[in-house]
Every structure is written in C-alpha cells, then in structure tokens.
Amino acid sequence: QWIYLDNDFVKKEEALVSVFDHGFLYGDGVFEGIRAYSGNIFKLSEHLDRLYQSAQSIMLNIPYSKEEMEEIIIGTVRRNQLETAYIRVVVSRGTGNLGLDPVSCSKPSVIVIAESLSLFPEELYERGLKMGSVASRRNRPDVLSPQVKSLNYLNNILVKLEANQAGVDEALMLNDQGYVTEGSADNIFIVKNNKIFTPPVYLGALEGITRNAIIDIAPENGYQISEQPFTRHDVYTADEVFLTGTAVEVIAVIDVDGRKIGTGRPGEVTKHLLTAFRNAVMKDGVQ
Ligand code: PLP
C-alpha cells in the first residue's frame, strides 16, 4: 500500500508523521472521507470544496490548488491499483513546538490514504440499526461549526462511546435545544406518510455529501423531501428512520431508545433509496 505523504508516495510502513505535528498534539487539522466505486470517485469536487472550506475556516493553508489536490487523490487511488476504495485525506497544521499556537508550524502536512473498502456486512442493511440518544450535545455552530471536518472529533467519539455503553449501534445526537441533529458520523432522515424529512444543517449537523445526494435522488424517485427541525418524538413515531454517510451509504434504523420504528424492519422507502443511491454512484463520479 502506497500512502501520499508531503509530496511523495511512501510505503505504508514508512508513512510516519512527527510527534510534534499539531494534528497529533492538538487535533489541529482537517480531513475528508471519500469513496471510489468501480474506479469512479464519488462527488470528488464536493469533497474538495468541503475540505478547502474546513481549512479556510480554521485558517489552514492547503499548499496545493484544488486541481492539484484532485490529481493527488486520483493518483493515490491509481498507484494502489484500486477500483473500489475508501479514501482519507488529512491536512494537519504540521510540525511545530509544544505550544498550541499554530505560528510555530511552518508547513501543513498533507496525507492521502486509499485502501480497499471493508464493506459493512449486507446483513446489517437487512436487519437495520439500533440507535440511542446520548447525553453529549452537538457542538454549537457559533463556537466551532459542525461544517468543519476537523481532526478534533472528540465530541463524536464521546457519543460513539455512549452508544457502545448503551449497547446500541449508533448515537442519536441532539443539539443544546433538544432538536435532533445527526448520528456520530452520519446524517439522519425520517419518513412519515411517504414524505421524507431531515434536519436543517443550521441546527448542528454536518452538511453530508451523501445527505445532499439523497436530497437530489428522492424527488427523482417520486418522494417529497424537506429540511425541517424535529425532535425525538418525531423520530419515535416515524414510519421509517435511516442514516446516510460516505461509509454507510443509506442504512435503516429499526429501533430508537427502545421504541420500535415502523414494523421493526427496514422500510420500503429506505430500501428504495439505497437501491437508487447505489445506481447513482455508478454514474456520477470522477474517473
Ligand atoms: N456527520 C458527520 C459528523 C460526519 O463526520 C459525516 C461523515 O463524513 C457525516 C455526517 C456524513 O457525511 P458524508 O455523507 O459527507 O460522508
């Protein structure tokens, strides 16, 4: 496996960053998770836009243009002879001294990892996930925006730990007003009377690229879809609940806080959208 690390392709074993890198010391950096399907990199320009916006927001200068970064990402997939891949792009503040001030960091580190995808087992899609709401709240948009995919994912890790402790597959994260926002690393949708709803991102959710793809795909498949604030009550009483994300694609939720959702089995709308999404990824991508 070849890793892109600061202008070079190096072997996995040699892909090492300094303990003085502020990405390591402070979580100071940004990242993206991207997926390639049969050689097509899905929504690459959307992922690049989000990466550069995350970096801009934290005053991190990515030392390449978007076009150069695109070439690096495509190059990393090719170098590893991958068709279907999970791609991780990381840009950290780089090495500095032990103080947290980024001023000591002379140049950002750029890392691209592409590896063959470990797919979620198909039985998980057939069974559906159990979700539980957690005590931790989504960080407020006026402090550190949820739109910044920063290397400091402790908040999301804490909710994952809470979900593990509660014995459920995924966490349901609320904002500080109690509105539903998202999961630990995926967006949430509910279906009621064949209409689909997802929380507006201003409540405190990442504007997921899979989320946006579903917002495009749903009307093409005859569904009304809208962004609307909702609470746990709306989730408990929905006909269907599903999550979206680069890794998980579209997956049903069949239980939330012990409430059975719908029939307790993945619903028709969710299954339909998963199929439509899997068709779309084959057509829409950078070769
Ligand atoms: N929400 C959070 C907090 C995430 O980290 C992710 C993963 O990137 C998502 C949602 C899903 O976004 P996407 O569909 O762009 O992968």
Q: Specify whether 212 is located in the same domain as 233.
A: yes
Q: Which atom of ligand 1 is nearest to the CA of 186?
A: 10
Cross-strand partners of 131: 170, 256
**What are the pLDDT tens digits along the chain (287 aa)?**
999 999 999 999 999 999 999 999 999 999 999 999 999 999 999 999 999 999 999 999 999 999 999 999 999 999 999 999 999 999 999 999 999 999 999 999 999 999 998 778 899 999 999 999 999 999 888 878 999 999 999 999 999 999 999 999 999 999 999 999 999 999 999 999 999 999 999 999 999 999 999 999 999 999 999 999 999 999 999 999 999 999 999 999 999 999 999 999 999 999 999 999 999 998 866 66
Range of the domain at 204: 122-283
- CA 38, CA 151: separation in Å to the nearest integer? 28
**pLDDT attached to residue 174:** 97
Q: Specify whether 218 is located in the same domain as 266.
A: yes
Q: Specify whether 29 is located in the same domain as 136.
A: no
Residue where one domain finishes, among candidates 77, 99, 116: 116
Q: Specify whether 232 is located in the same domain as 257.
A: yes
Q: Specify whether 153 is located in the same domain as 210.
A: yes
Ligand 1 within 6 A of CB of 208: yes
**pLDDT attached to residue 104:** 97
Residue where one domain finishes, among candidates 73, 100, 116: 116
Number of structural domains the chain divides into: 2
Q: Specify whether 102 is located in the same domain as 147.
A: no
Ligand 1 within 6 A of CB of 186: yes
Residue where one domain finishes, among candidates 88, 116, 144: 116
ipTM score of the complex?
0.99
Q: Specify whether 181 is located in the same domain as 273.
A: yes
Return the structure tokens found at 170: 């995924």
The CATH number of the domain holding residue 175 is 3.20.10.10
Query: How do beta strands 249-256 and 129-137 pair?
Result: parallel
The CATH number of the domain holding residue 19 is 3.30.470.10
- CA 107, CA 22: separation in Å to the nearest integer? 11
Q: Which atom of ligand 1 is nearest to the CA of 210?
A: 14
pTM for this prediction: 0.96
Q: Specify whether 106 is located in the same domain as 138.
A: no
Ligand 1 within 6 A of CB of 270: no
**pLDDT attached to residue 287:** 60
Q: Specify whether 66 is located in the same domain as 155.
A: no
Q: Specify whether 154 is located in the same domain as 246.
A: yes
**Catalytic site residue 271?**
no
Q: Specify whether 21 is located in the same domain as 142.
A: no
Q: Which atom of ligand 1 is nearest to the CA of 149?
A: 5
Q: Specify whether 92 is located in the same domain as 140.
A: no
**pLDDT attached to residue 159:** 96
Ligand 1 within 6 A of CB of 245: yes
Ligand 1 within 6 A of CB of 145: no
- Of the residues 87, 159, 187, 249, which should be mutated to test ligand 1's pocket, given the most ligand atoms within 8 Å of the CB? 187
What spacing in Å lies between the alpha carbon of 184 and ligand 1's midpoint?
Answer: 8
What spacing in Å lies between the alpha carbon of 19 and ligand 1's midpoint?
Answer: 27
**pLDDT attached to residue 284:** 66
The DSSP annotation for 217-267 comes to: HHHHTT-EEEE----HHHHHT-SEEEEEETTTEEEEEEEETTEEPTTSS--
